[in-house]
Amino acid sequence: MSTATHCPYCALQCAMHVEPGPDGAPAARPAEFPTNRGGLCRKGWTSAELLSSPERITRPLLRTDRTGAFTETDWDTALDHVAAKLADLRAAHGPDAVAVFGSGSLTNEKSYLLGKFARLALGTSQIDYNGRFCMSSAAAAGNRAFGLDRGMGFPLPDVASAEVVLLAGANPAETMPPMMGHLTAPRLIVVDPRRSATAAYALEHGGLHLAPRPGTDAALALGLLHAARTQHLLDEDYICARTTGFEAAWRYAAAFWPEQTEQVTGVPVHRIREAARLLGTAGGAYVLTGRGSEQHATGTDTVSAWINLALALGLPGREGSGYGCITGQGNGQGGREHGQKADQLPGYRRIDDPAARTHVAGVWGVEPEELPGPGRSAYELLDALGTEDGPRAMLLLGSNPAVSAPGTERVRNRLSALELLVTCDFVMSETAAMSDVVLPVAQWAEEEGTMTNLEGRLLRRRAVLSAPAGVRTDLEVLSSLATRLGQPAERFPDRPDAVLAELGRASAGGGADYSGVTPERLEQGEEVFWPAADAAASTPRMFLDAFAHPDGRARFAAVGHRGAAEEPDADYPLYATTGRMMGHYQSGAQTRRIGELAAAEPEAYVEVHPDTGARAGLEEGDWARVVSRRGATLARIRHRADARADTVFLPFHFGGAQAANNLTNPVLDPTSRMPEFKVSAVRLEHADTAPTATPGGG
Ligand SMILES: Nc1nc2c(c(=O)[nH]1)N[C@H]1C(S)=C(S)[C@@H](COP(=O)(O)OP(=O)(O)OC[C@H]3O[C@@H](n4cnc5c(=O)[nH]c(N)nc54)[C@H](O)[C@@H]3O)O[C@H]1N2
Ligand SMILES: Nc1nc2c(c(=O)[nH]1)N[C@H]1C(S)=C(S)[C@@H](COP(=O)(O)OP(=O)(O)OC[C@H]3O[C@@H](n4cnc5c(=O)[nH]c(N)nc54)[C@H](O)[C@@H]3O)O[C@H]1N2
Ligand code: SF4
Ligand SMILES: [Mo]
């Protein structure tokens, strides 16, 4: 027996069949689908292994003393304990004493119900999620430019028809390998300080690799706009008919002569001119951004600078061309639409908009005044935990901030200061291990629901097998906690289809309208793209007639280049940038527990130019201490002769002493509140001792 579903990990959401393997345990194999076209990456192939892993948690775990061991307990005891403690804290300190932290890995149904749970069952404004660390800068810039943010406003296969694709700060050859099948444009331009696998691919296939200094993408985008204009490549008719604000934006670009751009970014003048010419003369072109451009304290303006370039060339809102942000987590798109964000209600509504409050309160059967206002963004929320006026308890689903949040030592201190930390997970992540209560939940292949992939396409997650005895779904946990907190049971349904139907009503009329999305429709084919306002509606391509601003025009943003918050100096002479490798996913909580993946990449490493390593007395394979003003990371030296001598790179998939986030800088973008994961100033030292092994290989 074989069931069609989708990979649990990234936003490409590759289609797969899950069926019993030779040993009887479930195994995944790829399925034909427009996005993955029969491909899976190594993580997808091995994804079913965690379902029957001995490291799986299958009983609620509780402890009353943080320093003590967990004891297994039954669900009633665990839920009663949590509900009583939450109610006490709320009674003593008000509703904002309890926080909720969600995730872009949660299905649409879970993210919707989590937002509702926070606002109604807890009455708290203190909810945010890990998507703030992911694509929030691109979402903010997309909203500013187009009036609505859908990562890609077009189906992914469209990209294959282009003559030129520019990838800014994205490394899909490692982060979404099957996507490479769509990056077949004759000229691929990769913007990355590293010679990433994607950059190397581009060079081997007649493309370009532009390697700016970390944190200088905005200058490069402004320089490309300048070079395009001076080569008379702008689409004047499009600028005139479909946009506003070009002249104000141009004032910033005017200063970025190619020579000036080279000075700031290090990208040679002739490469800047060549890239601008390729983009400006292509029959069809796409500009796609990833976390490399976005995860900066200037991320929103940087993405705006890339969008300005795309608009000036007349790409967005046209067939065969466009701008897109490559969303990251499995449900990174749907998870940002339905209310687990501090300032948001379902359907991309704003929580401070009176009409939005009235609509959603109506669907929820409460008065608008009962809904709290906006809360703190993810990092600000984590940073406030256990402080005088911050939350005293937190419920966490789908994230491992003890590894993935910036400047993790500080975040771990804040988590420790909580009076109650409750984590729903299926493995003992580093954050679960710091909790008072761990609630064991079902995994992807044991539950039903919907996901929205990086294209804005609705997908069906299907149950392949039943969850182990003792495990509940996230929806069941939320529902049973809500009733214990005095909510009527019918207000918190635990069946995914019932939640989806309600989500449809709550999102109706909003930007991300799901009211025409039904399970029956998705069973017939996964060809529904939001907005889908009725049973026949689907929007594969957005903005073909008009952008979502009231005047129908896209807006150029008047943005300049500001650079990174922290530049190298005598004490910390190198840039460190962080990101991903093929074989691990995110904080590694899942993939470090999969035998084949852990064996292939068991430990943290730092990529350095051999000369840079030599200056610090470090040879290939040595353990280095990478030190910043926030802390230090232990990582094994990997020489890369093609690396920039001023920049080192660390993957962030490991925990404890090997966590790259021990050194990252939690300075935030003023608009998106995105932390600057991609730039910190560091130095390299010889590590006296190798790190001791920790559970899960980190
Ligand atoms: N294998 C694997 N795949 C994944 C994930 C995973 O953890 N592992 N996670 C998923 C998720 S949630 C996400 S968000 C996506 C992320 O997917 P990507 O955006 O492709 O991943 P990153 O490695 O974070 O960053 C991409 C590149 O940005 C570069 N970079 C660093 N600093 C700069 C800069 O200043 N400018 C520019 N232009 N580039 C810079 C890095 O060198 C890196 O190669 O991947 C998804 N897929
Ligand atoms: N230095 C550095 N740090 C980064 C980044 C970077 O590029 N550099 N990237 C950032 C980005 S883009 C992201 S998206 C974040 C991601 O980082 P995290 O938010 O930590 O995400 P995960 O590691 O995926 O953590 C997911 C946890 O939830 C569990 N889980 C998975 N699915 C479910 C579910 O359906 N329900 C429940 N209850 N639990 C579930 C998993 O077992 C795991 O323990 O990291 C950010 N941190
Ligand atoms: S590319 Fe992403 S969705 Fe596809 S198999 Fe790999 S992790 Fe899964
Ligand atoms: Mo992400």
Ligand 3 binding pocket mutation candidate from 41, 183, 331 (most atoms within 8 A of CB): 41
Residues linked to residue 189 through DSSP beta bridges, in sequence order: 166, 208
61 HSE (CA, 13 A, CB side): 24
Nearest to 639 by CA among 659, 654, 621: 621
What is the distance between the alpha carbons of residues 124 and 132, in angstroms, rounded to a whole number? Answer: 19
Reply yes or no on whether the pLDDT at 528 is more than 80. Answer: yes
As a whole number, mean pLDDT of residues 326-341 equals: 98
Q: Are 287 and 302 in contact (CB under 8 A)?
A: no
Nearest to 498 by CA among 538, 448, 547: 448
Q: Are 641 and 675 in contact (CB under 8 A)?
A: no
What is the distance between the alpha carbons of residues 601 and 607, in angstroms, rounded to a whole number? Answer: 14
Which residue has tokens 């490692």? 174
As a whole number, mean pLDDT of residues 489-500 equals: 98
Buried b (16+ CB within 10 A) or exposed e, 136-157: bbbbbbbbbbbbbbbbbbbbbe
Residues linked to residue 20 through DSSP beta bridges, in sequence order: 26
As a whole number, mean pLDDT of residues 613-630 equals: 97
Ligand 2 atom with the shortest distance to the CA of 295: 7
Ligand minimally distant from the alpha carbon of residue 107: 2
Angle ∠(222,567,167) on CA atoms, nearest 5: 40
What is the distance between the alpha carbons of residues 83 and 87, in angstroms, rounded to a whole number? Answer: 6
Ligand 3 atom with the shortest distance to the CA of 178: 1
Output the six-digit token pair for 316. 């967005």
Q: Are 513 and 533 in contact (CB under 8 A)?
A: yes
Reply yes or no on whether the pLDDT at 698 is more than 50. Answer: no
If 0-12 CB within 10 Å is exposed, 13-18 middle and 19+ buried, where does residue 17 land?
Answer: middle
Measured CA to CA in angstroms, residue 136 lies from 85, 151, 334, 335 at distances of 33, 10, 13, 11
Buried b (16+ CB within 10 A) or exposed e, 511-533: bbbbbbbbeebbeeebebbbbbb
As a whole number, mean pLDDT of residues 94-121 equals: 98
Residue with CA nearest ligand 3 atom 2: 10
User: Letter for the amino acid at 298?
Assistant: T
If 0-12 CB within 10 Å is exposed, 13-18 middle and 19+ buried, where does residue 279 land?
Answer: buried
- pLDDT reported for residue 585: 98
Total number of residues shown for the chain: 698
Express each pLDDT in 386-415 by its tens digit.
999 999 999 999 999 999 999 999 999 999
Q: Give me the chain's average pLDDT, please.
A: 97
Q: Are 148 and 348 in contact (CB under 8 A)?
A: yes
Domains of the chain and any CATH numbers = 3-52 (2.20.25.90), 61-133+331-511 (3.40.50.740), 136-326 (3.40.228.10), 574-697 (2.40.40.20)
What is the distance between the alpha carbons of residues 170 and 156, in angstroms, rounded to a whole number? Answer: 15
Q: Are 517 and 532 in contact (CB under 8 A)?
A: yes
Residues linked to residue 579 through DSSP beta bridges, in sequence order: 651
Measured CA to CA in angstroms, residue 666 lies from 296, 473, 560, 577, 623 at distances of 10, 33, 22, 13, 25
Nearest to 276 by CA among 210, 185, 216: 210
175 HSE (CA, 13 A, CB side): 24
Q: Are 459 and 449 in contact (CB under 8 A)?
A: no
Output the six-digit token pair for 177. 């390998």
- pLDDT reported for residue 23: 85
CA 515 remoteness from chain centre: 25
Contacts of 96 (CB under 8 A, 6+ apart): 124, 125, 126, 372, 375, 391
Q: Are 633 and 657 in contact (CB under 8 A)?
A: yes
Least confident of 17-31, 95-109, 633-647, 669-683: 17-31
If 0-12 CB within 10 Å is exposed, 13-18 middle and 19+ buried, where does residue 365 land?
Answer: exposed
Angle ∠(584,156,105) on CA atoms, nearest 5: 40
Reply yes or no on whether the pLDDT at 695 is more than 50. Answer: no
What's the gap in Å between 308 CA and the centre of ligand 4? 24
As a whole number, mean pLDDT of residues 622-627 equals: 98
Nearest to 696 by CA among 56, 20, 240: 56
Q: How confident is the model at residue 317 (pLDDT cuts 50, 70, 90)?
A: very high
- pLDDT reported for residue 495: 98
As a whole number, mean pLDDT of residues 488-496 equals: 98
User: Letter for the amino acid at 68?
Assistant: G
Nearest to 416 by CA among 398, 435, 429: 435
Q: Are 156 and 326 in contact (CB under 8 A)?
A: no
If you ran DSSP here, which 8-state letter would residue 117 be given?
I
Ligand 3 within 6 A of CB of 176: yes
Output the six-digit token pair for 228. 């395009």
As a whole number, mean pLDDT of residues 27-44 equals: 97
Ligand 3 atom with the shortest distance to the CA of 40: 5
| Helix, strand, coil % in the chain, rounded to nearest 5 | 35, 20, 45
As a whole number, mean pLDDT of residues 316-342 equals: 98
Output the six-digit token pair for 156. 């992914």
Q: Are 253 and 306 in contact (CB under 8 A)?
A: no
Nearest to 198 by CA among 225, 234, 167, 227: 167
3-state secondary structure of 579: strand
Q: How confident is the model at residue 697 (pLDDT cuts 50, 70, 90)?
A: very low
Express each pLDDT in 137-165 by its tens digit.
999 999 999 999 999 999 999 999 999 99
How many C-beta atoms lie closer than 10 Å to residue 114's C-beta? Answer: 27
Q: Are 177 and 200 in contact (CB under 8 A)?
A: no
Express each pLDDT in 591-612 by its tens digit.
999 999 999 999 999 999 999 9
Ligand 3 binding pocket mutation candidate from 33, 43, 50, 586 (most atoms within 8 A of CB): 43
Output the six-digit token pair for 220. 């490069």
Ligand 3 within 6 A of CB of 13: yes
- pLDDT reported for residue 693: 63
How many C-beta atoms lie closer than 10 Å to residue 340's C-beta? Answer: 31
Ligand minimally distant from the alpha carbon of residue 578: 2
Reply yes or no on whether the pLDDT at 586 is more than 50. Answer: yes
- pLDDT reported for residue 694: 56
Q: Are 304 and 312 in contact (CB under 8 A)?
A: no
Of all helices (H) and strands (E), which one includes residue 41?
A: none
Q: How confident is the model at residue 544 (pLDDT cuts 50, 70, 90)?
A: very high
What is the distance between the alpha carbons of residues 605 and 83, in angstroms, rounded to a whole number? Answer: 42
Residues within a 6 A CB radius of ligand 1? 10, 134, 168-172, 174-176, 191-194, 196, 212, 214-215, 217, 290-293, 328-329, 577, 579-580, 582, 584-586, 649, 678
What is the distance between the alpha carbons of residues 263 and 249, in angstroms, rounded to a whole number? Answer: 21
Output the six-digit token pair for 283. 């029959």
Check whether the bond before 401 is cis (ω within 30° of 0): no
Residue with CA nearest ligand 1 atom 47: 175
DSSP assignments along 537-567, one per residue: ---SS-SSS--SSTTS-EE---------SS-
Query: What are the start-end ranges of the E strands in 169-234?
Result: 187-191, 208-210
What is the distance between the alpha carbons of residues 457 and 463, in angstroms, rounded to a whole number? Answer: 20
Output the six-digit token pair for 672. 């998106």
What's the gap in Å between 93 CA and the centre of ligand 2? 30
Express each pLDDT in 214-273 by its tens digit.
999 999 999 999 999 999 999 999 999 999 999 999 999 999 999 999 999 999 999 999
Output the six-digit token pair for 65. 């003393």
Residues within a 6 A CB radius of ligand 2? 103-106, 130, 133-134, 291, 295, 328-329, 397-401, 403-404, 424-427, 429, 441, 474, 578-579, 586-587, 589-590, 652, 660-661, 664, 677
What's the gap in Å between 135 CA and the centre of ligand 4? 7
Measured CA to CA in angstroms, residue 21 lies from 466, 581, 677 at distances of 17, 27, 39
Reply yes or no on whether the pLDDT at 683 is more than 70. Answer: yes
Q: Are 9 and 585 in contact (CB under 8 A)?
A: yes
Reply yes or no on whether the pLDDT at 641 is more than 70. Answer: yes
